[in-house]
Every structure is written in structure tokens, then in C-alpha cells.
Amino acid sequence: MGMTITEKILAAHAGKAEVQPGEFVRCALDFVLGNDITAPLAINEFEKMGATAVFDRERIGLIPDHSTPNKDIKAAQLVKQMREFAQAHGITNYFEVGRMGVEHALLPEQGLVVPGDCIIGADSHTCTYGALGAFSTGVGSTDLAAAIALGETWFRVPESMKFHFFGPLRPWVSGKDLILYTIGKIGVDGARYRAMEFCGEAIEALGMADRMAICNMAIEAGGKNGIIAPDAITRAYVEGRAKRPFTFYTSDADARYLETFEWDCRAIEPQVSFPFLPSNTKSISDAVALNVAIQQSIVGSCTNGRIEDLRVTAAILKGRMVHPDVRMIIIPATQEIWKAAVQEGLMEIFVDAGAAVSTPTCGPCLGGHMGILAEGERAVATTNRNFVGRMGHPKSEVYLASPAIAAASAILGRLGSPEELGVTPEEFTAFCARFA
């Protein structure tokens, strides 16, 4: 019996010829990471256990991104603790204001995580790197502390589920819509502790930004990891940026899957997740019919803060104005993305439309800063969670959507689509052609 891509990566890092779902394995790690919320806790545990050295100063990433730039004294103290730990142990991949970025956009961009890796991070959206064909998953801060010292951890090999998307995508449908559709179908625990493998002609046609958006939200379905087999698009992305050799793994034709889902993309509209679960999805047609007014629109986060996401946003905002009752906040996910947006003229479009642009930060995604909601306010956001109080007041509401829907809604003052503004896919293609 063959193995899935997830099983192959775990077997290779456990030094075994093969592994079985449910088996416990001890795996060497290629990279470990923590942020300003989780790394300080790991540092405390590292010191409590009496560890004196890190396993590899070049395989650890410390990225203060959640409350950066420091929003208050507590945030500043946590970042200071990270900085001093990095200095004490010679950790090379410490990224602070001016060179930092949202961790799950920054590390692939910097070539620090690559195909075939086994990666853990003390952040649930570490599953993003599955878009490169890596096994990556979130852990607690205590597990991160042990991994920083030992360079290894244990896993129970997950069962795999296959999600096959076929047919062409409808206008304005993106990777974000495909993963919201998936979560809507199987629920927030439908893939609990399972590997979510995404495949099919629609997935193969997606660029890396859309693939990262899909794998990023595997955790919102309870998944242990999300993963997409690497291909020519993956190779084009990693070559020239990868800091170390990489390996392409693919699933065997006779690999075992607990469940397989097949969905025709011709039937999938842009999606909106209504409060208070990512699985509470509706098609944009149904959302528009409900006439839901918004007070804030956010484009950014580890899910949708990449340059491709900003181009979609700019194509819709160009020549238009954000609704006077809406605050639109756009957050490039890294300094390089911010700079690219300047060079491509996107920043001017954003400002002329009445949007505010932030330095890279997670900020409003977790209700940290840079866009907190008041009681009764509603936001449409390209972020990944819409639980009660996620972006501010417990009586506020967050609606999850793609950059296209977030931008159109900002102009309309309610949940809406680019089609309502008369923006055609051809216009968008022409707008983006200059960046090819």
C-alpha cells in the first residue's frame, strides 16, 4: 500500500521507510518558529528545563508580528525578551520592526521554509507552509521550548483526507473562497487531526498566494495540516529564494484516504463566512440579498496580505472611493510586499480611494490593535477567524471573505461583489498584466 505526501515526509524525518496512520513517530525538525505571543512562554519553559543551548541557531525563527509595532508596555516587554534571547543564543532569524513581516508570509518569502520540510510553530496557522509541499503544524509553547533545545518532536501520524477541485473557477473566485467553501461543507471539526490534501486541476492552476491561503486555514476545519503537492509553480517560487536544498514529495496512486471529496468549481461562487464560525458560509449572492452594512474592511493577515491580494484590491479600488461610513485598512504582510506595492503604484490607489495603509502586523486579526471594532460594528476581513470578540467588542461581528469581496464591500458600504461595481474579470486581468 502506498503513502500520502504527509506520510512520506513524516517517514523521512523519522528515519523510517514507511509510517501508518495512528503510529507515533519521533521526527527531526527542519525549522521551528514562534511569535511575540507564544515565543516568550517558550523561552520561559526553555530556561525552566535547564537547557543551555539551542539545537541550531539558523533553524529557529522568532518573529514579533502580532502586536507589532509594540502596542503597549506589555507588548514591548515581550519583544524585549525575544530580542535578548535571540542575541544570547546567536539566533540569526530574528525579525523586528523595519525588517519583520507577518510570520507565515515572511518565512516562505525569505526561503527559510522549503518543500519537503517538517516544521512546527507556536502558532496555529503554521499549516500555511503545506502550500510548498511541506509538513507544517502548530504546537503549544511548551512543545516549542523542547524543539528549540532538541530539534525534534513527536507526532501521531494523521489520517489523510483528499479534496479534489475540478473545472474552471468562476469570476472572482480565489483560493480563499475554495477553503471557505470546504470549511462550510465539512465544519470546523470535519478534519480534526487529519491531513487535508488539496488537489485537482483547479488547485494546480492556482499561484502560490492562493495555495498559501488554502493551507493557512486548514486549522479552521480542525486539520493537523494542509498540504498541496509541489509542482512547476512551486519550483518557480522557491528557486532563487530557498536557503537550503529541498525535496518534492507526492502521494502514491494507491495511497489511503479516510475520505475523498470532489467539487466542481463551476458551481462555487465567492464565499462569505458569517459570524461566529468560519464554517457559517454563504455564497456572495445570498450575502448580497441580506443587505449587511459594514463599518470596516480589512485586507491583510497571514491569509491574504500578499502582493497578489493587494493587486486584486487595487484593481477594484482604482478610480473609486471607499464608502464614507466605512474604514478600510490595508496591511501588506511583509516589508518586501509593502515596497512592491509602492513600486507598482498600488499605494497611491489605496490612498486616493480613502483607505489607510499599515506597516506589516497581524494587528486587527486577533483584536490586537490597528483596527479594533466597537460594540455593534461589523467588519468584512480577509483574516481567518470570526469568533465572538475576535476583532474587538464581544458584540461586534466579523465576516470572512477574499480581497475582492472585501474591496467591493468597502466601496458599497455593505457586503457586495465586484460585479455590482461593474468591474469585469477582463479589467482585472488587464490591470494585473503589467506586473507579469
In three-state secondary structure terms, 436 is coil
pLDDT of residue 436: 60
Which CATH fold would you assign to the domain 273-433? Aconitase; domain 3 (3.30.499)
Contact present, 133 and 115 (Cβ < 8 Å): yes
Say which amino acid occupies 387.
Answer: F
| Domain at 8-263: CATH code | 3.30.499.10
Q: Where in the chain is the domain with CATH 3.30.499.10?
A: 8-263, 273-433
* C-alpha distance from residue 360 to each of 99, 152, 170, 333, 364 (Å): 9, 31, 31, 5, 11
pLDDT of residue 12: 98
pLDDT of residue 3: 96
Beta-carbon contacts of 209 under 8 Å, excluding residues fewer than 6 positions away, are 175, 306, 307, 308, 309
68 dihedral zone (left: phi>0; alpha: psi -120 to 50; beta) = beta
* Alpha-carbon span 408 to 3, nearest angstrom: 43
pLDDT of residue 427: 80
Number of Cβ within a 10 Å radius of residue 388: 13
Q: List the one residue out of 288, 346, 344, 287 whose CA is nearest residue 313.
A: 346
pLDDT tens readout for residues 309-323? 999 999 999 999 999
193 dihedral zone (left: phi>0; alpha: psi -120 to 50; beta) = left
pLDDT of residue 434: 74
Tens of pLDDT along the chain (436 residues)?
A: 799 999 999 999 999 999 999 999 999 999 999 999 999 999 999 999 999 999 999 999 999 999 989 999 999 999 999 999 999 999 999 999 888 899 999 999 999 999 999 999 999 999 999 999 999 999 999 999 999 999 999 999 999 999 999 999 999 999 999 999 999 999 999 999 999 999 999 999 999 999 999 999 999 999 999 999 999 999 999 999 999 999 999 999 999 999 999 999 999 999 999 999 999 999 999 999 999 999 999 999 999 999 999 999 999 999 999 999 999 999 999 999 999 999 999 999 999 999 999 999 998 888 889 999 999 999 999 999 999 989 899 999 999 999 999 999 999 999 999 999 988 878 878 887 777 6
- Read off the pTM: 0.95
Strands (E), 335-405: 356-357, 378-381, 397-400
